[in-house]
Amino acid sequence: MGFVFVDPDFVRSVKLKVAKADGVWRIIRRDLQEKADEALQRGPWSVTSFGAVAPSGDPHDYVSEAPYWWPDPENPDGPYIRKDGITRHDRFMGHRSSIDELSGTVLTLCTAGYYLDEKRYTTRAAELLRIWFVDPETRMNPHVEYGEAIRGICNGRAAGIIMLRQVDRIVHALGFMEELSSEWDDVLTGMREWLSQMLEWLTTSKIGLDESRSSGNHAVWWTTHVAAYAAYTGNKEKLQLAFDHFKHVIVPEQIQPDGSLPKELERTRSFHYTLFQLDGAALLCEIAHLQGEDLWHYRTANGISFQSAIEFVLPYLDNPYLWKWEQIDGEIPEEYVSLQLASLRLQLPECSRVNMKRRGEAKWVKDGEERLGPLVFLPGHPFHAAANERSNALI
């Protein structure tokens, strides 16, 4: 229970800096309060707000449609066909958009409630969580059986589990809530029960097990979800299952000796998905680090490691125009958590240099008043906070 992705002592030290509001911390404090005041006006959200859209007929079941599947021009009434990397924007997004907004709002409110000692923010976060996860009338059932459905092919598939990245953010937010008053114990108890049920579904259902055996970033993120929910609920058996899966399946099967990730390099957005997989793995390694197990430096018998994957991508993060694999949207990645955390944990000089370059210099930006640059993140921002233990641009 408590913080899963960050050392609680670090969070407490940041709180002291926010309270003093000296220098840059004055700006951070003000920006956090502005964001939290905006967040108070958002929501609430519930899967039940959209009626019974699931094939089950149960309005509590989460539903989403696969983003890269389209009607077949040669058979408009037939099964959809795949166009990797090209998003169909007219698919059903009600549930997905809602939980995306919920997770960001709850995280903002919980961090502000903690750092600013403002009860009203945490109280609102608790209300929003109660509606989506706890209240029997409005809660989401703890499974993703109907995620990433494809018309004419399936009502749901393993890939739909990727939406749980939003729940990972909520798990991070819960750490801030637990540091405060016991006033929200009913919500925290309800969240632990929901996460325990989701953890069981992830590790026993056909769709959950299919995701664990999938290739590329999906298997990595499945492992991270399992580790996060197991760490938060205190399930040591499932936690070790996740760590072992990383060591014996993910690293040897997904990382090549040169550090490349071939399943991601096959994608039409290969740069994006390479970094997306590294983000999931970095978060898993950080969970393990905080639980006393070193996955950051784990190596197979033939020397394959997560570190080699970080080293593979570093030259391209230093100069993205060197990337030679397909990237159809022309995206040049900005800041990724994998580089932030790897800079801290692997102590690679080149990683630290590129990390600082990707973040940009800590400059004041004039926009009518002093503000922080766009790459400066708030203290306790999801998953990035631990990277600030290092003396870098701001701390």
pLDDT digits (tens, 9 = 90+) for 202-225: 999 999 999 999 989 999 999 999
pTM beyond 0.75, yes or no: yes
Residue 333 forms part of a structural domain: no
What is the span of the domain harbouring residue 8?
A: 1-214
Residue 309 forms part of a structural domain: no
Taken as a whole, the chain contains a residue count of: 395
Domain count, the chain: 1
Reported as a single tens digit per residue, the pLDDT across 19-30 is 988 887 888 888
Beta strands in the chain (DSSP E): 63-65, 69-70, 81-82, 146-149, 364-366, 370-372
* Of 300, 310, 284, nearest in space to 212 by CA: 284
Residue 222 to residue 144: CA distance in whole angstroms: 12
Residue 234 forms part of a structural domain: no
Question: Is the pLDDT at 140 greater than 50, yes or no?
Answer: yes
Q: Please tell me the predicted confidence (pLDDT) of residue 230.
A: 98
Q: Please tell me the predicted confidence (pLDDT) of residue 182.
A: 82
Query: Picking from 79-93, 130-144, 236-250, which range would have the lowest pLDDT averaged per residue?
Result: 79-93
Residue 375 forms part of a structural domain: no
- In sequence order, which residues have a C-beta less than 8 Å from that of residue 57 and are 6 or more positions away? none
Residue 124 forms part of a structural domain: yes
Average pLDDT value for residue range 342-362: 75
Residue 97's domain is classified under what CATH number? 1.50.10.100
Beta strands in 46-127 (DSSP E): 63-65, 69-70, 81-82
Comparing 140 with 346, the larger pLDDT belongs to 140
Residue 108 forms part of a structural domain: yes
CB atoms within 10 A of CB 22: 9
DSSP secondary structure string for all residues of 199-230: HHHHHHSHHHHHHHT--THHHHHHHHHHHHHH
Residue 42 forms part of a structural domain: yes
Average pLDDT value for residue range 102-114: 94
How far is CA 340 from each of CA 191, 323, 387, 392, rounded to the nearest angstrom?
29, 20, 6, 11
In degrees, rounded to 5, the angle at the alpha carbon of residue 294 between the alpha carbons of residues 291 and 300 is: 140
Q: Which helix (H) or strand (E) holds 109?
A: helix 94-115
Residue 210 forms part of a structural domain: yes
Q: Please tell me the predicted confidence (pLDDT) of residue 365.
A: 32
Per the CB < 8 A criterion, the answer to whether 306 and 285 are in contact is yes
Residue 199 to residue 337: CA distance in whole angstroms: 24
Average pLDDT value for residue range 131-154: 97
